[in-house]
Amino acid sequence: MKVGFIGLGIMGSSMAYNIFKAGHELIVYNRTESKTKIFKDAGVPVAKTPKEVAEKSEVVIIMVTDAPDVESVLFGKDGVVFGAHKGLIVVDMSTNSPEYAEKFAKKLAEHDVEFLDAPVTGGDVGAREGKLTIMIGGKKEIFEKVKPVFESMGKMIIYAGTTGSGQKMKLVNQIAVALSDLAMIEAIELAKSFNLDIEQVYKVLSTGGARSFTIESYMPRLMRGDLEPGFKLSHLRKDIGYALNEAKKNGTPLFATSLIYQMLISTENLGYGEKGIQALIKLYEILSKAQSS
């Protein structure tokens, strides 16, 4: 398929490159042009605008930070809709909310453009290895058309249902990620207070009943003092905010999720928003120092 990819960040760059390696005809766009170098070097065309991406694609994939960024790419100056043509499919693989997915689908339909919401989970490692889990909402027949592209990026492709269902599934996932992160941090903090060997603690947590992707992916980074993002803390805070908004509409109590949301905000306010979700440990370290002083 002719695929346009917009948003070459931590995950987007690897996702786009895997599409290229799978043999699809690719064109890319990114606001920061320096991030397109790997694609230029590989002979992949680099567009000047999202409009140009749309003009030259059957499928346009968007992987940016938040709903306002998606909206700008789609409907802003030189946006995707200005290059729209019959049969064009837009896939939003960023995480926002079911409400935005429905809004984007409705506005794009006015331009005869189909829409899928298809957020992902798996972090930077999953993106590099083409092993993401992808959750898709939208028309089933449009999903089937795009499925070969999804398969070049992910190992688990889930058709979740109608428009917005992909985002709903992702918000459920993000609650589990956030609370897993909290569990890991608190386990490490207690282990440190016991003067346990953290290497041995990791062996227990990564092989026993506590085993999780969060433990296996992020605890080794913490052990070597690496706070660089596989997934940014500020992005998780944003996702949890969307989850809480949806829960409020439904009257669903999310006690622990409300707590981790406040903790993520506090850690972000300390200056760690652009670091990985494992940077939550800095909040604990600061509180521990305050209590011991």
Please give the sequence-ordered ranges of beta strands (E in DSSP) within 7-131, or none if there are none: 25-29, 59-62, 89-92, 114-117, 120-121
Neighbouring C-alpha atoms within 13 Å toward the C-beta of 41? 6
Per annotation, catalytic residue among 170, 238, 275, 282: 170
d(CA 49, CA 51): 5
Tokens of 231: 């997934």
- Per DSSP, 87 falls in state T
The token pair that represents 241 in the structure block: 């905010």
In 110-254, which residue ranges form alpha helices assigned H by DSSP?
A: 123-129, 140-151, 165-193, 198-207, 213-223, 233-250
Instruction: Give the residue carrying structure tokens 């931590």.
Output: 10
CB 102 within 8 A of CB 164: yes
User: What are the distances in angstroms from CA 109 to CA 91, 105, 135, 145, 241?
Assistant: 13, 6, 21, 17, 28
> Which residue type, as a one-letter code, is found at position 275?
K
At CA 80, angle to CA 149 and CA 86, rounded to 5? Answer: 70
- Is 170 a residue of the active site? yes
End-to-end CA distance of the chain: 61
Active site residues: 170
